Chains A and B, each alone.
Chain A
Amino acid sequence: MQMKKFFWVAFFFLALGSCLDEPDCIDLSNGFIGISFKKMFDNKADTANFFGIQSPESDSIFYQFSRATAIVLPLNPFSSRTRFTFEEVYGENILEMEYVNRSTQFISEDCGNRYVFSNLEFTNYDFDSVKVVTNELASAVQTNLEVYRCPRTNLVKVAFRQLIGPTERADTVYLSKLSADYSAQFFIPKDTLSVINLPLNQNASATTFYFDFKDGSSRTVTFNYTCTLWNEFDTWCGALTLYSDVSSTVYDFNDVQIRRDSVQDPPLTNAAIFK
């Protein structure tokens, strides 16, 4: 009789234990490449400003209107090659990869499938310079490729400031549109901002910028400067233009004060604008 009692007690506990199924969603897929962005001249992390990253085989837009120092992109498991176009504020680049020996495994109804890739090769790219860190793919986030960019010598950084009594403080503005007197692209966040980088025209000695603010007002500012050629990174970047003697005498803001008259990378505040 004791044996029968023990049978039922032990059965209850074992059956209860068997109901506790292990979790399904353990992502073992290695179908991702990690890319980190760096500056060529100091080897430090660079913040890339993306309009978006797209592949011709996908409708998805990765990192749309995003800023990042490192990104992760998926490999297409239904092809042996994947191509991405990086649409950035300061240019457009492509990256193409090939890989072989992929395998597929169903994981669960909730988690979908996992893919296993191998023999990754970066076959085509037009970044300023790249370093392949590893061709091995792993399920954990890692850096496969380091992308180095040339110095951006034409970005004048302006800060919006305001006077509260005798004290100068940061001002926040909401831009609806920004343009220049030449073909230039701008990255405007859909939010207020206090500082912004403005690209100078290397083919002129002055550039005028047109600001349209969310409150309906418009302002302009013109920066004058001197250009000189610089060949330090000639191998990767060609001859670069350095900008100095930055000044501003034409504007319809309340005031524009020059704080630094040479342009640097990363940009340091060149001008304070009082709206």
Chain B
Amino acid sequence: MQRFLNSILIGILATSTVAGQTNDSTSTVRPGFLPTGIRVGVDLISLIRSQTDDSFSGYEVYADADFAHYYLAIEAGRWERNFITDEEHYVNGGNYFRVGIDVNFLRKNAGKNMFFFGMRYGRSRYSEYLTIINDPVWGAVDVNYSNTDIHASWGELTTGLRVKMLKFFWMGYTARFKFGLNTNEASELISYDVPGYGKAGNETTWGFNYQLLFRIPIRKHR
């Protein structure tokens, strides 16, 4: 929560900073409610983490389309967790997507840069398995628990930036405050980790994506 508040603070500072900027383009873009392009991208953090964290494997892709100052955002991904110790073995894996709206607070820029706040609805479908081999008190056991093909949903508040670096090429990040997790697992095994959300034991949690984006123009600005 503290980190989320920090991000809000940074966001407020960003607003004041960008409000005072000298715009590269002197033209004022009139809002049009038909999308001018589709941006697609990939989350670099998931890809890097898959290579550096033995317990994680996953990816996430991103797409958005502009409707004036509003952006329809869709994110989809997959992650798997794998923890092996002498006492237990936990594995999960599943797919997820998030859909929502971002509101761009940079009203005067032709570069489709964004400083945005938004919201998401997230949904995940996953399975998880826990095998307990040895208990420090009760000794050697061999007990299996599983949740197969279960669903989870949650909400998110998002903020972040998208900045045009080259022609057709943007970089961006999204900080997300996740809340309201709802899972439908059987009572025998309580979910530990929900793909797309994180640790199920956290009523609220924090996420961060660093995106590389490619924009496909489909219509010129009016």
* Contacts from A to B (Cβ < 8 Å): 1-4, 6-7, 10-11, 13-15, 17-18, 20, 22, 26, 28, 57-60, 74, 76-78, 101-109, 112-113, 116
Query: Which residues of the partner chain A approach B132 to less than 8 Å between Cβ atoms?
Result: 78, 104, 113
Question: Do B137 and A112 touch across chains, with their CB atoms under 8 A apart?
Answer: no
Per-residue 0/1 for B150-190: is the Cβ within 8 Å of any A Cβ (1 yes, 0 no)?
A: 00000000000101010000010101000000000001111
Per the 8 Å Cβ criterion, residues 134-156 of B in contact with A are: 135-139, 141, 143, 145
Question: Do B130 and A104 touch across chains, with their CB atoms under 8 A apart?
Answer: yes
Contact of B136 among A2, A78, A106, A112 (CB under 8 A): A112
Contact of B18 among A6, A13, A26, A78 (CB under 8 A): A6
Distance, CA A116 to CA B132, complexed state (A): 15
Question: Do A18 and B187 touch across chains, with their CB atoms under 8 A apart?
Answer: no
Distance, CA A108 to CA B192, complexed state (A): 9
Question: Do A18 and B145 touch across chains, with their CB atoms under 8 A apart?
Answer: no
Query: Which residues of the partner chain B approach A3 to less than 8 Å between Cβ atoms?
Result: 18, 21, 109, 113, 163
Query: Which residues of the partner chain B approach A116 to less than 8 Å between Cβ atoms?
Result: 190
Question: Do A105 and B201 touch across chains, with their CB atoms under 8 A apart?
Answer: yes
Question: Do A78 and B14 touch across chains, with their CB atoms under 8 A apart?
Answer: no
Distance, CA A14 to CA B22, complexed state (A): 25
Q: Is B29 an interface residue (CB 8 A)?
A: no
Question: Do A17 and B3 touch across chains, with their CB atoms under 8 A apart?
Answer: yes
Query: Which residues of the partner chain B approach A57 to less than 8 Å between Cβ atoms?
Result: 138-139
Known contacts A3-B109, A22-B202; 4 further A-B pairs (Cβ under 8 A): A2-B17, A2-B22, A17-B206, A20-B3
Nearest A residue to B7, CB-CB: A14
Question: Do B163 and A58 touch across chains, with their CB atoms under 8 A apart?
Answer: no
Query: Which residues of the partner chain B approach A106 to less than 8 Å between Cβ atoms?
Result: 83, 88, 90, 130, 192
Given contacts A3-B21, A17-B3, A76 and B187 within 8 Å (CB-CB): no
Main secondary structure of the interface of A (DSSP, over half): mixed
Q: Smallest Cβ distance from A173 to chain B, in angstroms?
A: 37
Size of the chain B interface, CB-CB below 8 angstroms: 47
Query: Which residues of the partner chain B approach A78 to less than 8 Å between Cβ atoms?
Result: 132, 135, 138, 141, 143
Q: Smallest Cβ distance from B162 to chain A, in angstroms?
A: 9
Q: Smallest Cβ distance from B32 to chain A, in angstroms?
A: 22
Q: Smallest Cβ distance from B176 to chain A, in angstroms?
A: 10
Given contacts A15-B208, A109-B83, A10 and B10 within 8 Å (CB-CB): yes
Question: Do A105 and B143 touch across chains, with their CB atoms under 8 A apart?
Answer: no
Question: Do A60 and B137 touch across chains, with their CB atoms under 8 A apart?
Answer: yes
Query: Which residues of the partner chain A approach B109 to less than 8 Å between Cβ atoms?
Result: 3
Q: Smallest Cβ distance from B147 to chain A, in angstroms?
A: 11
Question: Do A105 and B10 touch across chains, with their CB atoms under 8 A apart?
Answer: no
Most buried by A among B83, B109, B187, B205: B187
Question: Do B189 and A104 touch across chains, with their CB atoms under 8 A apart?
Answer: yes
Q: Smallest Cβ distance from B206 to chain A, in angstroms?
A: 7
Q: Smallest Cβ distance from A225 to chain B, in angstroms?
A: 45
Question: Do B18 and A18 touch across chains, with their CB atoms under 8 A apart?
Answer: no
